Structure formats: C-alpha cells, structure tokens
Amino acid sequence: MKPILAEKMKLLSIYQPSTMLVSRVESVTELEKLITIELPEGGSFQHRPGQFVEVSLLGVGEAPISISSSPSRTTNSFELCVRRVGSVTNAIHALSPGDLIGIRGPFGNGFPMERFRGKDLLFAPGGLGLAPLRSLINEVIDDRGNFGRVVILYGARHPSELLFRDELETWKERDDVELHVTVDRPDEYWKGKVGVITTLFYDIQIHPRNTVAVTCGPPVMYRYVIMELLGKSVPEGNIWLSLERRMKCGVGKCGHCQMGSIYTCLDGPVFSYSQIKHLEEALS
Amino acid sequence: MTLKILPKKALPAWLDGLHANYRLVGPRAKQENFVFDVIQNAEDLRLDYNTTILPPKKVLLPQQETILQFDTSKDFHQVEPVFEDTPTVLFGVHTCDMHAINLMDQVFGQGYPDAHYQTRRQHTAIVTLECLNPCTEFCFCKSMETLSVPEGFDLHITDLGNVLAIEIGSGQGLTLLQHAKMVRDAGPKDYQHLQDVMSEKWPRFAYQLDFDITELPSLIALSYKTEVWDSLGDRCLGCGICNVVCPTCNCFDVIDEVDFDLQSGSRYRIWDSCQLDRFCSVAGGHDFRSSRANRLRHRFLHKFKYQPETYKIVGCVGCGRCAQECLVHISPVDVLNELYRRQVPFASIEQEVLV
Ligand SMILES: Cc1cc2nc3c(=O)[nH]c(=O)nc-3n(C[C@H](O)[C@H](O)[C@H](O)COP(=O)(O)OP(=O)(O)OC[C@H]3O[C@@H](n4cnc5c(N)ncnc54)[C@H](O)[C@@H]3O)c2cc1C
Ligand code: SF4
Ligand code: SF4
Ligand code: FES
C-alpha cells in the first residue's frame, strides 16, 4: 500500500504544525530562554492567557509550552519562555533568529478573564510558573482599570533563577501593583526576602471573598500555596491553578494528560481548586 | 432487515473477488493462534477462528503509523500530513470488536477530529461475524452486552451450516456483495433457520459478571478507595500487554525519525500504554500516577466509568484478550466481581441504617 499525501486529498491534520519564524532568542537565566516567534503574514493568534502551543522541532519532537506573552501585547508575534530539560527543549535553546519552528495551537482553556474582572488579584507563581502567569499579569496590567488590587508573590529557589528581572522591576515601580519576591537560598548580592513562597503570605492582608488567587509552579509548591490561601479563607472556586501534565497530542487523543476523566489539554490546563480538589491525580 | 443467502461453497470465489478489488484483511492462522492479516488466498481466511492476539483495531489504528513527513533541507520547511486511504475490507470481525470500533470512531471523531484515523475508517468496509460459541474461557461479552452486532457494520454474517446468512448494513455492503455469485434473497425458511441458530446460541454463553452492567458506574464510583487496587498493584507487572491487546485502548506516543540526510524524516505515532511507569511523568521527576495500583485503577476507571460517561459506550467490550494474555492473570471479570463482593456488605449496612 502506498501512503498518499494530503495535498491531493485536501485533508487537514490536527497534528500538522504551521511553520513560523523565530525572530528573537534571549537568555533569561542559565536554564531558560525567551523565544519570540513571528506569526505568518496576516496570521492572527487570538489566544487567552493560560493557553499553550505545541512546539515542533522537526526531527526532534514536540513539546507543550505556555504562551508567555499577553494577548494585549501580541499582534504579530508571541513569546515562549522555555526551560531546557530534554531533547525538544534543548533543541529550542539551540535556535537563533531566522530559524524556523513548527507551532500548533493555541490549545487549552486559558484563564477565565471574565470571572477575574472587578476582583482583587493575587498571583503566586513559583519558579518557571511565572512563564504562563506573565501572560495573565501583563494582560491585567494593560487593562488595569477593570481589576481591583494586583498582588504578585513570586518565589524562586535562587536569585539566579528569577525570571524576567527587568519586567519585575517595571511591575515594582508601578504603584498599582504590589510585588513581593523571595528566594529559598540567597546569594551574596541578594537584598530581598529569603524563604519559601508561603512566607510572603504573612506580610499581606487580603479581602478573601473578593480575591481571586492564581498559582502555577511545581506540585510541592502549589500544594502549600493552596493550603495558605484556604487558611486565609479564599473560596475554593476563587483559587486557580495551571497544571503541567505529560502531553503528546494537545487535542484529547493520546491519553497522556488524563487526570481521572479530565483531559488536561482540553479541559485545562487551567482549573479552579474546586474543580479538581476531589481528583486524587490532580494534586498528588 | 435485508437478508441474503450465500452458499458456503461460493465463499472462496467471493473472497477472491474482494481480494482483487480491495485490500482484504481477515483472520488467519499463525502457529496455534489467529491474527488479522492480509488475505491473499481465500483458503487462508478462517471464519472458525476463536479470537485473535491483536484486535482488528490494528487496521484502523496501526501499531505504528506515519502522520507527517517533513523535509527541512530547503530554506522553508516542507511538512505534509500522511493519510492512508487504501480501500480495505475488514472481514470476519466479531461483534465485540465491532462495538470497540464504534467506540474508537467516537474517540477519534469528537472534539478535534483525527483525519488520519478517519481516512482509514472511511476507506474500510467491515464485515462482521456472529459468534455462535464463546471464543475463549476469558470472554464475557454476554455480560457486557456485546454479543449482538451493533450498528456500523457493512455486512453481517451468520453461519447457518451449509449457507451463510448475510445482513446488509449499508450501500457499501451491498457493493461488496456484488462480488459474490450465487447470492439469493432469504426466504421464510432461512429466516426461521437464522432465528433457531440465534436462540440456540444464547444459552451457550454464560453471564460472567455477578451483577448487571447498569450497576457498573456506581460500583466503580464507590470502589475508588478500596484495597483491591493495592493488592492488584502488587501483582501487576506493569508490562502493558493488557493495553496492547485491547480493542478499545487508543493511547499513543509520538516520535520523530530522521533519515540519513538528517534533514528529512517523519513523525509517527505508536501505541502507548497507561500501565507503563513513564506514561504520566513530566520534567522534574514528577509522576502523577506513580504506583502500579493507581495505574491499574486508572485503566479500569477509564473503561468502566469515564468512557461510559463520555460516550455512553462502555470502554470494555468483554473480549477477554487482556485476561488471556496477562502473565499474572488479572482479569476484568475477577476484578469487577471482587469489587462487587466488597461493595455488598456496605450496601446492606446502608440498608440496615435506612430501615
Ligand atoms: C500545558 C503545559 C505548559 C507548559 N509550559 C511550559 C513553559 O512555558 N515553559 C517550559 O519550559 N516548559 C513548559 N512545559 C513543560 C514542557 O512541555 C516539558 O518540559 C517538555 O515537554 C519536555 O520535553 P523535552 O523533549 O525537552 O524533554 P524529554 O527529553 O522528552 O524529557 C525530559 C523530561 O520531560 C518529561 N516530558 C517529556 N515529554 C513531556 C511532555 N510532553 N509534557 C511534559 N513533560 C514531558 C519527561 O518525563 C522527562 O522527565 C509545559 C507543559 C505543559 C503540559
Ligand atoms: S497485562 Fe497484567 S501484568 Fe501486564 S500491565 Fe496489564 S494487568 Fe499488569
Ligand atoms: S479491557 Fe480486556 S476484556 Fe475489555 S475490551 Fe479490553 S482487552 Fe477486551
Ligand atoms: S495531550 Fe494527548 S490527550 Fe491530552
């Protein structure tokens, strides 16, 4: 039997990436790079903060990566902040401006912006968790009048692992954003707070019923953050998380991302705590 | 129901006619077992097969399937999806496996439709076969209500001894039958004969589950925390054979392969198994279903709870293949009956409280 190519059949494959151009590659830390990708001529990319794309390096493979730029600042391009951990992410790190990359998506539900409007927002990213939350935070900042207080509690293991330091500065300078940063282990230059992210909660007063909290990071971290938020009486339905699961297709077919009956790629990756607290496989 | 009759002696000529016009895939012997394979010679087709090692899903979702071909040698990337549309006749599919194909159609059709699967499916005509005897000691199709043919077949064959009764399920089925000679319409005697065969077969199959499948969703829901999973997890080897032989398992991995020039190559998908320990692991060493007990529970819940909830079709069709192949004899029938046995005392306690 002879395989036939799509052209003749005019069939579309949900697995076919669109080829796009890499226009910038910046080092963010030792481990992370920020990649700017140009949309094709006339291409639009109506994503929501919290959505992800499947990034293809032909010959290496595919990896799901959150869109780190906000829709409000995404016209002809978008940004991905990528930590190198394996084959695809290493190949992404080896890219230079002018290289081509394959993109599918955006996929996933994204954050429910309409439910956040008018609320006080508490962002609690840990480590690389800032990559997806940056999209949301900048979206909120660009539409600042429609939200209440904006509090950002950011924790990293070490000062050298803090992402987007320039952007942290601009947030810090705004008087309508409260930014608190902590590191687990300081270096000799670190003047800020030391301790795990939950220690930042002692310093802040919130109005729990009117607060929406959003967290993203490694499981050990978000479990403690959730406990802290519940301790402050933030309603379960107001606590939002973006979860990472192994994903191979991004479109509900390969089965890898299932937590119970939920497909993280379709139904998530954003969930409220009330949606998933009964799912043992979500928070374990 | 449009019923046709074909003398058995006319079957080889029909198969040859199909083979000449389609890729003909059906059960044939391989050592002591049977497999679905391309049928070159009519006499290789074994309609008396008991079961096959791999289900016929391998025709619609091949174990390994190229989905994209790419070439990055130019200053642009050429990426082409690959679709497989060879006209195929899948001949002699047992009713349980047809139920499984219907479920697979749903899985690949809903949400983001998968044109790779769908292209194959659209170019595959299915001839199902009525089971007149239990295929193995492991099957439990009667309990799973898959002992009768569901919709979706193109032709459905029942062996009436000297003749085959053939029910036409679609226009495509009618076309297939045009390759056969000596076909005649069924008369009242044939209908009677068919009815007799059907009512005689029924008692030959036993109910294997101690309860009715309508109780499955609640049984499974109540069994999430039982120790049954832990003891099964201790036995299970995590080998994933049960997924490989299952007609409804559809999970896959995606892998890139480059040619020697390092610039062109293909992306293929390959069956994967939720029982393997790296199935859910992510960078940083987190694994969200790290114990064999949890993975086994996931497999059962997926088939007996999540899929029925999503598709209104139970994700296990009772073919018995997993039970037959499992090296440590983990069988859905035993597991479900054990869950049921454990649930009964709880149920009666509840009743006592209510009284
Ligand atoms: C919704 C979502 C958003 C994400 N956003 C980002 C992001 O913004 N930035 C970022 O750097 N990373 C992000 N990740 C994680 C990223 O997808 C994985 O690190 C990446 O797939 C690893 O691929 P690799 O080929 O480099 O590693 P591999 O060589 O394949 O393996 C290295 C490690 O990664 C794990 N892994 C392999 N494949 C996957 C997979 N498909 N999904 C998750 N883990 C996997 C393996 O178990 C192994 O431990 C996100 C993941 C998800 C699910
Ligand atoms: S075949 Fe048996 S031992 Fe292997 S993974 Fe399945 S249940 Fe476990
Ligand atoms: S779970 Fe086992 S018995 Fe059920 S359909 Fe799959 S292989 Fe057959
Ligand atoms: S990533 Fe394949 S099903 Fe979700």
Structural domain boundaries of chain A?
3-107, 113-283
**In chain A, which residues have their Cβ closer than 8 Å to the Cβ of B262?**
59
CB contact under 8 Å between B79 and A284, yes or no, is no
Please give the mean pLDDT across all residues of chain B.
91
> How do residues B53-83 score in pLDDT, each as one tens digit?
999 999 999 999 999 999 988 777 889 999 9
A13 touches chain B (CB under 8 A): yes
Residue A73: the pLDDT is 86
Q: Does residue A84 have a pLDDT over 90?
A: yes
Q: Mean pLDDT over all residues of chain A?
A: 90
Choose which CATH entry (2.50.20.10, 2.40.30.10, 2.40.10.10, 3.30.310.50) describes domain A3-107: 2.40.30.10
Distance B293 CA to ligand 2 centre (A): 11
Chain B interface disruption, residue of A2, A5, A14, A85, most B CBs within 10 A: A14
Residue B7 scores a pLDDT above 50? yes
Q: Could you identify the atom of ligand 2 that is nearest to the CA of residue B292?
A: 8
What is the enclosing helix (H) or strand (E) of A38?
Answer: strand A32-38
Contact A17 B79 (CB under 8 A): yes
pLDDT in tens, B104-116: 999 999 999 999 9
Report which bound ligand comes closest to the CA of A65: 1
Between residues A260 and A156, which one has the greater pLDDT? Answer: A156
Q: Own/partner pairs for B17-24, CB < 8 Å, 24+ apart? A: B17/B179, B17/B180, B18/B89, B18/B91, B18/B176, B18/B179, B20/B179, B21/B87, B21/B179, B22/B87, B22/B88, B22/B89, B22/B125, B23/A1, B23/B86, B23/B87, B23/B88, B23/B89, B24/B88, B24/B89, B24/B91
Amino acid at site A132:
P
Are the beta carbons of B81 and B225 closer than 8 angstroms?
A: no
User: What residue type is assigned to position A130 of the chain?
Assistant: L
Task: Report the Cα–Cα distance between both ends of chain B, in Å, rounded.
Answer: 51
State the burial class of residue B315 (Cβ atoms within 10 Å of its Cβ: 0-12, 13-18, 19+): buried
CA angle A100, A249, B237 (to 5 degrees): 130
Q: What pLDDT is attached to residue B351?
A: 45
Q: What is the mean pLDDT of residues B4-27?
A: 96
Give me the pLDDT at residue A7, please.
44
Quick one: pLDDT at residue B222?
A: 85
pLDDT digit string (tens) for B238-269?
Answer: 999 999 999 999 999 999 999 888 789 999 99
Per-range mean pLDDT, top range of A220-224, A279-283, B22-26:
B22-26
The residues with which B157 forms a beta bridge, in sequence order, are B129, B166
Distance B119 CA to ligand 4 centre (A): 21
d(CA A57, CA A228): 40
pLDDT at B118: 95
Least confident residue range of B219-228, B253-262, B280-289, B329-338? B280-289
What letter does residue B305 receive in the DSSP assignment? I
Q: What is the pLDDT of residues A5-59, one digit of tens each?
A: 444 446 789 999 999 999 999 999 999 999 999 998 777 778 999 999 999 999 9
- The minimum CA-CA distance between B115 and chain A, rounded to whole Å, is 6
* pLDDT recorded at residue A6: 44
Write the pLDDT tens digit of every residue in A175-217. 999 999 999 999 999 898 998 998 888 888 889 999 999 999 9
Atom number of ligand 2 nearest to Cα B238: 5
Are residues A240 and A111 in contact, defined by beta-carbon separation less than 8 angstroms?
A: yes
Higher pLDDT, A41 or B37: B37
Report the alpha-carbon distance of residue B319 to residue B327 in Å, rounded: 17
Q: Which of residues 85-104 of A touch B (CB under 8 A)?
A: 85-86, 89, 100, 102
Per-domain boundaries in chain B: 2-61+84-204, 213-250+275-354
H or E stretch at B6: strand B3-7
Distance CA B61, CA B65 (A): 8
Measure the CA dihedral B186/B190/B191/B196, to 10°. -160
Give the distance (Å) from ligand 2 centre to CA of residue B236: 5
pLDDT tens by residue, A223-234? 899 999 999 999
| Whether the CB of A252 sits within 6 Å of ligand 4 | yes
Q: Which of A60-74, A87-101, B152-166, B278-292 has the lowest mean pLDDT?
A: B278-292
Please report which confidence band the pLDDT of residue A113 belongs to, taking 50, 70 and 90 as the band edges. Answer: very high
**Sheet architecture: strand order including B78-83:** A4-5, B78-83, B64-71, B264-271, B252-258
- Provide the CA A216 distance to its chain's centre, in angstroms: 7
Nearest-angstrom CA–CA distance, B7 and B9: 5
Note the pLDDT of residue A284: 64
> Tell me, what's the pLDDT at A130?
96
Judge if the beta carbon of residue A24 lies within 6 A of ligand 4. Answer: no
With contact defined as beta carbons under 8 Å apart, do A63 and A54 qualify?
A: yes
* pLDDT band, very low/low/confident/very high, at B349 (cuts 50, 70, 90): very low
Which ligand has an atom closest to residue B315 CA? Answer: 3
Cβ atoms of B193 and B160 closer than 8 Å: yes
For the ranges B57-61, B166-170, B331-335, B344-348, the lowest mean pLDDT is seen at B344-348
B345 band by pLDDT with thresholds 50, 70 and 90: low
Partnered with residue B255 across adjacent β-strands are B268
Residue A146 at interface with chain B, using a CB cutoff of 8 Å: no
Are the beta carbons of A254 and B83 separated by less than 8 Å?
Answer: no
Q: In angstroms, what CA-CA distances link B38 with B15, B25, B45, B89, B126?
A: 12, 4, 9, 10, 14
Task: Tell me, using a 6 A CB cutoff, whether residue B283 lines ligand 1.
Answer: yes
Which residues, 6 or more positions from A189, have their beta carbon under 8 angstroms from its beta carbon? A159
pLDDT at B190: 95
* Mean pLDDT of all residues in A124-151: 94
Question: What is the structure's pLDDT at B77?
Answer: 84
Structure confidence at residue A10 (pLDDT): 60
Cα dist from A228 to A128, A236, B336, whole Å:
20, 12, 40
Chain A residues within 8 A of B67 when measuring between CB atoms = 13, 15
Mutate: best of A85, A246, A265, A279, partner B, most B CBs <10 A: A246
How far apart are alpha carbons B67 and B254 in whole angstroms? 9
When scoring A2, A9, A13 by the number of chain B Cβ atoms within 10 A, the one with the most, hence best to mutate, is: A13
Q: What is the pLDDT of residue B344?
A: 57
Strand (E) positions, B169-258?
184-185, 252-258
Least confident of A88-102, B252-266, B321-335: B252-266
Residue B354 has what pLDDT? Answer: 43
Pick the range with the lowest mean pLDDT from A219-233, B24-38, B321-335.
A219-233
Q: Which helix (H) or strand (E) holds B166?
A: strand B163-168
| Three-state secondary-structure class, residue B64 | strand
For residue B245, the ligand closest to its alpha carbon is 3
Closest C-alpha among B87, B34, B166 to residue A4:
B87
- Integer Cα distance of B128 and B140 in angstroms: 18
Locate the ligand 1 atom nearest the alpha carbon of residue A83 and give its number: 11
Amino acid B22: pLDDT: 96
CATH topology for the A113-283 domain: Rossmann fold (3.40.50)
Terminal Cα distance for chain A, rounded? 47
Best of A51, A249, A259, A262 for a ligand 4 pocket test (most atoms within 8 Å of beta carbon): A249
**Separation between Cα atoms, residue B272 and residue A118, nearest integer Å:** 45
Note the pTM of the prediction, 2 decimals: 0.91
Tokens of B30: 């391989």
Percentage, residues of chain A above pLDDT 70: 95
Which of B330, B241, B303 lies closest to B54, judged by CA?
B241
pLDDT of residue A163: 94
Q: Please determine, for residue A240, whether its predicted confidence score (pLDDT) is greater than 70.
A: yes
